[in-house]
Every structure is written in structure tokens, then in C-alpha cells.
Amino acid sequence: MNKTQNVDVEASSSTAPFETTRRKFLMWMVGGMSYLVTLFLAVPLIGNLIGLSFRQKKTQWVKVGGISSLAADQPVNMKFPLRTEDAYIRETVTQDVWVIKHSPSEVTVFSPICPHLGCHYDWDPGTKEFACPCHGSIYSIDGKVLGGPAPRSLDTLPVRLEKGELFVEWEQFKVGIPEKVRV
């Protein structure tokens, strides 16, 4: 090997680690883009999962309607719009509750969901009882279990009366257990 060839080999070997080839550039670009995409997808997911444990449930009082025209001690199924948010999904759904007016300043509001397995029950005016069509649970007008497999009485909801208007704090409870536990 002559002297000029030896210098060329040394020069090329000393600059090789710092030399940017097209392959290295593409590898860095693909790696960087993969990192950004992963970060873009992971941050909202982790934030949502962690945020659920730290986020307190907001009290959402929803206007159900006026109670002045309701008959005393007669259950009435009242429907109302409820705005829900789940992560990025916001929608308005129609919910219903069973309202029993005892006096102009006193009402009882029952969740329409049977505590046995989550079916919607109905009021039977002939027997003056609430009856679940799914598994035959029967409840009195005050929500107590009269028969069937229901593990507890009907779930009541928090209420507020303002100038004859009924406001309800919509809640859902776990079904199939003896205790009233919020979902």
C-alpha cells in the first residue's frame, strides 16, 4: 500500500462515525415520527385513565319539570334531557324517573332502573305496585321490595324543588347487590 492510499483510509475511517448517510437519516426520521405518534396517542389515553381516579363527579342538577299539576301519591313517569360527557363524546340523552308527589313541598323520585339486573320497571295502577317485567320483582309505592329476586328497595335520587320546578341529580347505581353503590 502506498502512502496516499493509507492517508485516504485513515481519513475515511475518522469521518465515518459523523457521516450522515441517507439510511441513517431515514432511520432517525422514522424513529422520531414513531415517537411523536406514540406520544400523540398515549397522552390522552393515560390522562383519561389517571384522570378518572382524581376527577370528582360533578353534581349535575337537571330540571325535570313542574310538579304543580301532579296528583298526590300517584307515581308519574317524567322524561327529561340529560347531557352526558364521556371522554371526548358529548351527547344529550332522554332519561326518565318515577316521581311521587306527597305535598307541594315534598316529592320522592325513584330511578327507573330495577336494582336486580337493570331492567326498567313500570307502575301497575290496578295493583298499585311497581313491577319489573324482566324477573318479576314487585315493589310498593314507597319502593320497598314486596316480591321477586330484587336485592334491595328501589333507588331514590336526590331532589331539589325551586318555585314548583323539580330538579334531580341523576345517578346510577350498581345492580344485583344489596347495597346502594354509585356507579
> Is pLDDT above 60 for 32?
yes
Q: What pLDDT score does 45 carry?
A: 80
CATH for the stretch 61-169: 2.102.10.10
Burial class (CB in 10 A: 0-12, 13-18, 19+), 118: middle
Q: Among 10-19, 27-36, 93-102, name the one with the lowest average pLDDT.
A: 10-19
pLDDT at 137: 94
| Digit-coded pLDDT (tens) for 46-69 | 877 776 666 655 668 899 999 989
DSSP character for 55? P
Percentage of residues of the chain with pLDDT beyond 70: 85
- Mean pLDDT along residues 86-105: 89
Secondary structure E strands in the chain: 61-66, 76-86, 89-103, 106-110, 122-124, 129-131, 138-139, 145-147, 159-162, 165-169
Query: In the chain, where are the structural domains located?
Result: 3-54, 61-169
How confident is the model at residue 5, as a pLDDT? 53
pLDDT tens-digit profile of 118-158?
999 999 999 999 999 999 999 999 999 999 999 999 999 99
